[in-house]
């Protein structure tokens, strides 16, 4: 199939900010006296900030009000944004940069479909905002993955139907969202080999074989 548009998850696909998320959540969990490790962190992949907080608070001895939870999520995000200030164009691999450039040269519309509310900051720090025709992120959605809203809006922003778009994801929740929205999907990383994905990519550059010029 000739795809006219590609919608990319951001974290874990275009950039790798997992270590920053982990450090920020760990700092909050440590302050609250809640056990938190890499295994628990893996459960946070592809879900919203508030849902991630609820997972961490499963081990809490204190019951927090909704207002307190909003404050805790804001505390984590402030720490995460401080860590993101360390990012630069050097955080984009030559393979990713070259592949995105080649796809654009082939006339394919590119969009971001991320649950993160920090997508704009990440794109600005890494200097790649100009490579994307549209950004759908946590600031314009009301339901996070596996709901397909973020991808549906991404397709709408680049004026294409789901049938004309390919979603690239590294999280199972993201692949589920793509399927729910009627999109074909290409799985990387943690989601590689997931049965619901249309394709499995060994590396990011394999997209050029799925989207020939």
Q: Which positions are catalytic?
A: 9, 11
∠ CA(175), CA(180), CA(186), 5° rounding? 30
Q: Which of 87, 96, 130, 105 is nearest to 9 (CA)?
A: 96
Q: Read off the tokens for 16.
A: 């790798």
Q: Give the 3-state secondary structure of residue 136.
A: strand
Strand order in the sheet with 134-136: 134-136, 109-113, 5-8, 165-169, 184-187, 199-200
């Amino acid at each position: 199939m000739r795809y006219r548009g590609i919608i990319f998850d951001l974290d874990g696909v275009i950039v790798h900010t997992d270590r920053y998320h982990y450090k920020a959540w760990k700092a909050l969990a440590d302050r609250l006296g809640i056990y938190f490790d890499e295994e628990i962190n893996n459960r946070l992949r592809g879900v919203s900030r508030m849902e991630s907080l609820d997972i961490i608070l499963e081990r809490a001895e204190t019951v927090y009000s909704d207002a307190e939870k909003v404050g805790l999520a804001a505390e984590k995000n402030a720490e995460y944004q401080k860590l993101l200030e360390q990012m630069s164009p050097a955080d984009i691999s030559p393979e990713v940069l070259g592949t995105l450039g080649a796809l654009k040269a082939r006339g394919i519309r590119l969009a971001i479909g991320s649950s993160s509310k920090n997508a704009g900051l990440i794109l600005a720090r890494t200097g790649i905002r100009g490579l994307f025709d549209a950004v759908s992120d946590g600031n314009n959605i009301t339901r996070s993955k596996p709901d397909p809203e973020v991808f549906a809006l991404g397709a709408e922003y680049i004026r294409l139907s789901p049938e004309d778009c390919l979603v690239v994801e590294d999280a199972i929740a993201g692949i589920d969202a793509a399927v729910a929205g009627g999109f074909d999907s290409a799985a990387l990383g943690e989601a590689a080999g997931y049965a619901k994905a249309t394709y499995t990519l060994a590396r990011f550059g394999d997209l050029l074989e799925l989207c020939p010029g």
